[in-house]
Amino acid sequence: MINNLLKIGALVVSGRFLKPRFKGLLLLLAFWFVIRLLHAEYISYVELSTDTSFLWQASLLKITLYILGFAAYFVIVERRLLLESKIEQEETLIQRHIEGSDDGFNFLRKKAKLDNKSDQLLRK
């Protein structure tokens, strides 16, 4: 029973973690797959032609593109998520500050509906 609850909890946590990152991770994996495919094609060409003069440069380019792809993912996706979480934290902090202090208008904030001038005149 506990084991099943832990599995469900792990799935929920994983889902909440991956949901905002899913598109970015999918694009990153597709980019890495294309790089790997192109590099494999070049390696097969080198095996057929036996011209290994640019082999180390191709490998260095592959590694560099992997790193640049990850850096682009981090800047685009993770930075946006970090900024959104900071904005949410600031908003909750401001809301707590507003709720915690009495500025003299709390009685108006607690009303369901504010009366306009015509409602005030009709009541008199």
* Angstrom distances, CA of residue 12 to CA of 3, 7, 9, 16, 70: 14, 9, 5, 6, 25
* Arithmetic mean of pLDDT over the chain: 88
Q: Is the CB of residue 21 less than 8 Å from the CB of residue 77?
A: yes
Inform me whether the pLDDT recorded for 17 exceeds 90: no
Q: What is the C-alpha separation between 39 and 32, in angstroms, rounded?
A: 10
Mind listing the pLDDT tens digit for each residue in 77-113? Answer: 988 888 888 888 877 777 776 666 666 777 777 777 8
Q: What is the C-alpha separation between 55 and 38, in angstroms, rounded?
A: 13
36 versus 80: the higher-pLDDT residue is: 36
- The answer for 55, left when phi > 0, alpha when psi is -120 to 50, beta otherwise, is alpha
